[in-house]
Structure 1
Amino acid sequence: MKMYDEKHIKNIVLIGAAKSGKTTLAEDMLFEAGIISKRGTVEERNTVSDYHEVEHERGNSVYATLAHTEWRDYKINIIDTPGSEDFVGEVISSIRVCDTAVLLLHAYNGVEVGTELIWDYIDQYNKPTILAINHLDHENANYTQTLEQARAFFGSAVTVMQYPINQGPGFNAIIDLLKMTMYRFPAGGGKPEKLPIPPEEQEQADKLHNELVEKAAENDDALMELFFDKGSLDEDELRQGLKIGMMKHQVFPVFCLCARSNMGSGRMMGFIDNVAPSAVEMPAEQTEEGKEIPCDPAGPTCLFIFKTLLEPHIGKLSFFKVMSGELKAGQELYNEKGNVSERLNQLFIADGKNRQPVERLRSGDIGCTLKLKNTFTNHTLNDKNFNAQVDPIHFPAPKVRVAIVAKNKGDDEKLSEVLGEIHMEDPTLEIEYNRELNQVILHGQGDLHLLVTKWRLENIYNMPVDYLPARIPYRETIQKPAMSSYRHKKQSGGAGQFGEVFMKIEPYYEGMPAFKEYTVRETEEIALNWGGKLVFNNCIVGGAIDTRFLPSILKGVMEKMQEGPLTGSYVRDIRVSVYDGKMHPVDSNDISFKIAGMMAFREAFHQAAPQLLEPVYDLEASAPGAMMGDIMSELQSHRSIITGMDSGNASQVIKARTPQAELDKLYASLRNVTQGKAKVKAVFAEYAPVPADVQKKLSEDYKKTEAQNGQH
């Protein structure tokens, strides 16, 4: 293929809510450029970007897919992204490496939930943005209403470039305010006629053109002077002003499309060529230390891996952006994070599942390579004499969780390997091997995210699995002091076992007074791995228990604290004082005192007003103000305590404290009552007492389990 310099490479990402037409638009652009000879459709499962089996099964994008066009001496790299919030990781990584976002709005549905949610990431990375109003042939299409919604949400930066004629089923024409031309499309779409603006539209077109000129001029002092001098700007000056405005996030050009009928995509591609910034015009990339990496083809070679994909029969594909320098096939680069040199034997330009080999790629371009051994998403590859780590993609924390088990018990090790591979592809899916809960837990972005993961395990990896509720990491403690003793005595011929321990246990808190009921000979303070403390006092006098047996008593206490008496959960924040006991000159040994210490602690615990604690999260839910009543009702029905309210950007924010045991159900409920419009985030806050009825039920369930397992 032709080699393009850095000024003629444009990288765009197609984003928008599900069904807004991103995949269809990508197909249109490839067709317009002659990359494909026939346009596929989502319904016929033959589009370039939605080529994975799971996407055919669902009828929606799951993966971000790279393609390219060559349009009028420019190369446009296109990344088509999923519309569901559950696959937000694919969207964020694509936004990160593209230089312009094309945000599709459905002409009937307007600014949808998916649009609102993803805008935060466009804003965060400050990406120039084009708004494309699609589906103008929909029977209920309403361009004006969609434009008003966009202005209400995105503000005054929304800048009309085009408006439609005959929207609805008869849609066939667009007035272009930059070219001051009407584009009329033939039946079924395709190459339009360029016609003068009809007389009945001239006044409206002139008015909007003047607004466009003013918007372009206000972004640059030199252009503003020209505007004052001439009273207008020519087309090249308009393009210059619009580019400056886009890069400042003060101009979001609005285009009109009917991608399904191949109307409008060619004109938008021309605008991307001539106006949308290239990587070399964008601010320099940042390293982790905040230093700049200029997009300089003469600079040292630097690649950033933004996506990893495992494909059957091919292996690992690594997608990258050339941040600096020029990359040649066979070049060896160094990965500092992996502490390994990697040789990139093959370079490809991707169009969905089809890959075209190339010999080199210049700075600003996007491509992929095969079989990098120790290089993954968020890694940087450099010339050996150049040390720079590109600032990584920051993925959102998971929102829901579920425990996973292989249906075939012999597959446990294989399941672990497969989950590792899936996480490598999708960093937003986190895998936790929780010893405390004795579960493998998947953390995902939503129920759909977890369901698609299960589909992949069963259909791609042939690994049948079950999803189970993820257990809650409760904690146990006490509310009042208690004393107990326990004598362990066992005789079965030969040497026996004997140990007797007297102890007092108390709730521990920082700064509590020293223990004074008995003389403390030695104190050991233990910071527990699971949080909280154990303070262990040796108050033995007169040799009632030999000093060498005290560590065994402590070991018994610690073992019981790792499987608490109430529910089998970890115990925390207790002071144990061993003040008396008895031993036998022959039968006493370490195991005897370990058992005696464990059982004495267990009996004292049950007498000390045991309290079960649960993890509680600080939760924020933001949504339009009209939904606040429904949100508050759902929060309260899931044991949440409202802690405050605040105002956000066109939304209200409710703050609450919510138990982890309710979080998964609450996420689903809030998504349901707000039609997905609520943005929810939760951060661990503290452990807090559970209600008495919850504690009683959990304790009874644990006793039944113990009885079934024959434990005492």
Structure 2
Amino acid sequence: MRQMKVFDQKHIKNIVLLGSTKSGKTTLAETMMFEAGLINRRGKVEEENSVSDYHEIEHQRHSSVYSTLLHTEWRDYKINILDTPGIDDFVGEVVSSVRAADTCLLMVNAQTGVEVGDELVWQQIERFKKPTIFIVNQLDHPKADFEFSVESIFDTFGRNAVLMQYPLQPGQGFHQIIDLLKMVMYVFPEEGGRPEKRPIPEAEQERANDLHNALVEKAAENDERLMDLYFEKGNLEEDELREGLRIGMTNHDVFPIFCLSAKQNMGSGRLMGFIDNVAPASADLKPEPLTDGGELNYDLNGDPTLFFFKTINEPFLGKVSYFKVIAGKITTDQELYNPSTETTERLGQLYIVDGKKRHNVDELVAGDIGVAVKLKHTYTNHTLCLKGKNTILEPITFPEERLRVHIWSESKDENEKLGEALREIALEDPTVRVEFSNELKQLILSAQGDLHLETIKWKLKENYNLNVIWEMPRIPYRETIQRPAEATYRHKKQSGGAGQFGEVLLKIDPYFEGMPEPSKDLHVRHKEEIDLPWGGKLLFYNCIVGGAIDARFVPSIKKGVMEKMEEGPITGSYVRDVRVLVMDGKMHSVDSNDISFKIAGAKAFSSAFAQASPKILEPIYLVEITVPDHQMGDVMTEVQSRRGMILGMNPEDDHQIITTQIPQSELGDFSTSLKSITQGRAQFHWEFQDYQPLPANLQEEMVREATKLMEA
């Protein structure tokens, strides 16, 4: 077993590889490990032998599904690498990795320039304000266009991006890079690897000088002392340049641009050297926020504190928990406290990992990333600290769901097992949400998109031996009335002994806020105002005079009404916003009892409801869509085709925020359609707003279907 080196806090750098699918993230990770001598042969995604993409589902898909932790060592520095998926459906893996990293490496494919996936990833980088390096990769490809790629970076992310290098003759035969920090040309052998340093060719000298001066100016902008030196000398030394770039990166004001071919191993060593010498370590960054409003520094001498950013269940191993050491130093067999679950966890063994390979270590220090296995009560977003400290780091906020389905097992006997399996998956992946809807009588699974759902289906089959089916969930409609109505119902049942008898006359009205009290002629004896659990109100009045019905039976009448409101007379949906007045009735001295009046109350309510112009209400969602200007028309057409109402539009940079109201019944595949229309560029946020009447033609159709079901 290879002996693990011990690194001090300043010599540990944490990077995350980001970018669209096929941008070369996994290939770069392999190359960095190979270049450092940690692996003897570089694996390939398509050959299913890379260190990073080791899960079976990744082998089948030939692309990353999970973020993967690995590491490399370069010139006495340890670089922890988080390799992330490039597909937006797995955004949760990206968000947690960006939170854990110190520096983001955003890979740009030299064939295409900035892609939609890069723009989406940038939203997460901006959210955490992490130092960022742009990497133009695949410069050896015949269709590589470096100038176009760099312009797309400037156009999309702004002029704080600055060239560190540029290639000489990108495309087939690419093997030369001009470095603007060191002002040399690197010439790589045909098989890649260690380059030869040569002077910059005379034909390139003027361009290189101009770009070098631009780099110097950008580095000097970030520090008054460096700016004074720059004005005094007209240039900066290499170490001064590095310092200016480090300050600018730390402040999220400078974004260096590197170029390379990960596949040919040309440029990765220089990139790793820059990460070592310039990219910030954890201790250089802002303190981590705490839930109580305080902050926690990456302090080696502080109390041991861990933050868990990822949890995964590995076959044959169980729960694997990924953490970052925020403060202090942790050792094997150490016991720490979890304030969120109020439990103590023992860290039996500590590991650093390279994909599926685990390496034992005795200790990890602040700023490092490690793994623990089989923790009982600790999951993603939890903090471990010393008992009595109750330190809780601000949790990661994961994106809300974009797609909901009703899911069930092909075998009815396995639905309980399915619920447990989904809860385990949701603990592993915080972008998955699972709930059983008592109203709809359905198990609802929420996810990020179709591919995310298919991945969950694969896990259920392979890990839990469950075959599942899903469809769009039912819609939680509501029923109400539009005009007053009265009805009488007599319940009479005679058997051998005592019978059942109860007669109820009641009136129902549509309820609205501030409605006047009933006429004094009705002699209201008691009024009850009930806030219904599903929204809306029931006003229940006892207006019985002369002892027609004993007061002891009135609660049974109300119970019958409430039961019928829980299963509406028209479609079986909840009833809301009704005023019920019990006005008269009859009872029998022997046969009347609670069950008789409960049945009579329910039947009288149903009969009156049918005469009161019943109305079905549908849930309406407020949807905010952020869309590029040039795609706004297509999105508005899509919204209107879904019975949506445009409420407003607000410009934001080169985007528009469209605020709309859309019925929930029209939102089932909205995420998929929006992604297709905008090539994934549009994002949306949705939240329940209120209930509104269903259009008459749709209500008629819905009532017909409900009637058929009831008859069946």
> Does TM, scored on the shorter chain, surpass 0.5?
yes
Q: Which moved more, 1:646-655 or 1:270-279?
A: 646-655
- Whether the 8 Å CA contact 2:620–2:688 is kept in 1: the answer is yes
Distance (Å, rounded) in 1 between the aligned partners of 2:663 and 2:508: 28
Q: 1:369 aligns with which of 369, 372, 388?
A: 372
- What pairs with 1:481-496 in structure 2 (closer than 5 Å)? 481-496=484-499
Q: Report the equivalent of 2:67.
A: 64
Q: 1:40 aligns with which of 30, 40, 43?
A: 43
Distance (Å, rounded) in 1 between the aligned partners of 2:267 and 2:592: 90
Task: Name the SS of the counterpart of 2:464 in structure 1.
Answer: coil
Deviation at 1:363, TM superposition (A): 0.4
Distance (Å, rounded) in 2 between the aligned partners of 1:46 and 1:285: 37
Distance (Å, rounded) in 2 between the aligned partners of 1:150 and 1:684: 37
Is it true that 1:186 corresponds to 2:189 in the alignment? Answer: yes
- What pairs with 1:2-81 in structure 2 (closer than 5 Å)? 2-81=5-84
**Deviation readout 1:551-608 (Å, 9 max, x if unpaired):** 1111111111111112111111111111011111111111111111111111111111
Is it true that 1:582 corresponds to 2:586 in the alignment? Answer: yes
- Aligned identity (percent) is 57
Give the letter aligned to residue 209 of structure 2.
D
Give the root-mean-square deviation of aligned CA atoms: 1.0
Q: Report the equivalent of 1:543.
A: 547
Distance (Å, rounded) in 2 between the aligned partners of 1:152 and 1:290: 37
Q: Report the equivalent of 1:246.
A: 249
**Deviation readout 1:362-404 (Å, 9 max, x if unpaired):** 0000000111101111110001243310010001110100011
Q: 1:117 aligns with which of 116, 120, 138?
A: 120
Deviation at 1:653, TM superposition (A): 2.0
Task: Name the SS of the counterpart of 1:51 in structure 2.
Answer: coil
Q: Report the equivalent of 1:525.
A: 529
Q: Report the equivalent of 2:684.
A: 680
Distance (Å, rounded) in 1 between the aligned partners of 2:138 and 2:480: 60
Distance (Å, rounded) in 2 between the aligned partners of 1:376 and 1:33: 33
Distance (Å, rounded) in 1 between the aligned partners of 2:128 and 2:517: 55
Q: 1:159 aligns with which of 155, 159, 162?
A: 162
- Whether the 8 Å CA contact 2:129–2:252 is kept in 1: the answer is yes
Is it true that 1:669 corresponds to 2:673 in the alignment? Answer: yes
- What pairs with 1:335-374 in structure 2 (closer than 5 Å)? 335-374=338-377
Distance (Å, rounded) in 2 between the aligned partners of 1:168 and 1:565: 71
Is it true that 1:442 corresponds to 2:452 in the alignment? Answer: no
Distance (Å, rounded) in 1 between the aligned partners of 2:701 and 2:328: 64
- What pairs with 1:120-519 in structure 2 (closer than 5 Å)? 120-516=123-519, 518-519=522-523
Deviation at 1:286, TM superposition (A): 1.2
**Deviation readout 1:7-34 (Å, 9 max, x if unpaired):** 0000011111111111111111111111
Distance (Å, rounded) in 2 between the aligned partners of 1:194 and 1:300: 46
Deviation at 1:697, TM superposition (A): 1.6
- Whether the 8 Å CA contact 2:168–2:178 is kept in 1: the answer is yes
Give the letter aligned to residue 534 of structure 2.
W
Q: Report the equivalent of 1:706.
A: 710
Distance (Å, rounded) in 1 between the aligned partners of 2:215 and 2:313: 46
Deviation at 1:56, TM superposition (A): 0.9
Deviation at 1:189, TM superposition (A): 2.1
Distance (Å, rounded) in 1 between the aligned partners of 2:10 and 2:110: 33
Distance (Å, rounded) in 1 between the aligned partners of 2:581 and 2:189: 90
Task: Name the SS of the counterpart of 1:290 in structure 2.
Answer: coil
Distance (Å, rounded) in 2 between the aligned partners of 1:544 and 1:90: 68
Give the letter aligned to residue 287 of structure 1.
L
Distance (Å, rounded) in 2 between the aligned partners of 1:672 and 1:206: 45
Task: Name the SS of the counterpart of 2:159 in structure 1.
Answer: helix
- Whether the 8 Å CA contact 1:614–1:688 is kept in 2: the answer is yes
Deviation at 1:252, TM superposition (A): 0.4
Structure 1 stretches (4+) deviating beyond 6 angstroms?
none
Give the letter aligned to residue 371 of structure 1.
K
Distance (Å, rounded) in 2 between the aligned partners of 1:461 and 1:618: 37
Q: Report the equivalent of 1:697.
A: 701
Q: 1:649 aligns with which of 649, 653, 665?
A: 653
Q: 2:619 aligns with which of 601, 615, 633?
A: 615
- Whether the 8 Å CA contact 1:153–1:650 is kept in 2: the answer is no
- Whether the 8 Å CA contact 2:472–2:668 is kept in 1: the answer is no
Give the letter aligned to residue 338 of structure 1.
T
Give the letter aligned to residue 411 of structure 1.
E
Q: Report the equivalent of 2:606.
A: 602
Q: Which moved more, 1:236-245 or 1:145-154?
A: 145-154
Distance (Å, rounded) in 2 between the aligned partners of 1:514 and 1:143: 76
Distance (Å, rounded) in 1 between the aligned partners of 2:589 and 2:544: 17
Distance (Å, rounded) in 1 between the aligned partners of 2:426 and 2:306: 22
Task: Name the SS of the counterpart of 1:483 in structure 2.
Answer: strand
- Whether the 8 Å CA contact 1:68–1:75 is kept in 2: the answer is yes
Give the letter aligned to residue 574 of structure 1.
V
Q: 2:106 aligns with which of 97, 103, 108?
A: 103
Distance (Å, rounded) in 2 between the aligned partners of 1:58 and 1:520: 70
**Deviation readout 1:307-329 (Å, 9 max, x if unpaired):** 11111111111110000000000
Distance (Å, rounded) in 1 between the aligned partners of 2:695 and 2:454: 32
Deviation at 1:460, TM superposition (A): 2.2
Task: Name the SS of the counterpart of 1:56 in structure 2.
Answer: helix
**Structure 2 unaligned residues grouped into runs of 5+:** none
Distance (Å, rounded) in 1 between the aligned partners of 2:500 and 2:172: 90
Distance (Å, rounded) in 2 between the aligned partners of 1:664 and 1:205: 54
Give the letter aligned to residue 314 of structure 2.
E
Q: Report the equivalent of 1:84.
A: 87
Q: What TM-score, normalized by structure 1, do the two folds share?
A: 0.98
Distance (Å, rounded) in 1 between the aligned partners of 2:591 and 2:244: 93
Deviation at 1:646, TM superposition (A): 1.3
- Whether the 8 Å CA contact 1:157–1:249 is kept in 2: the answer is no
**Deviation readout 1:377-432 (Å, 9 max, x if unpaired):** 11100012433100100011101000111111111221111111101110110001
Q: Which moved more, 1:351-360 or 1:646-655?
A: 646-655
**Deviation readout 1:425-471 (Å, 9 max, x if unpaired):** 10110001111100001000111111110111112221111112211
Give the letter aligned to residue 541 of structure 1.
V
Q: Which moved more, 1:595-604 or 1:106-115?
A: 106-115
**Deviation readout 1:600-621 (Å, 9 max, x if unpaired):** 1111111111111111111122
Q: Report the equivalent of 2:636.
A: 632
Task: Name the SS of the counterpart of 2:389 in structure 1.
Answer: coil
Deviation at 1:492, TM superposition (A): 2.7
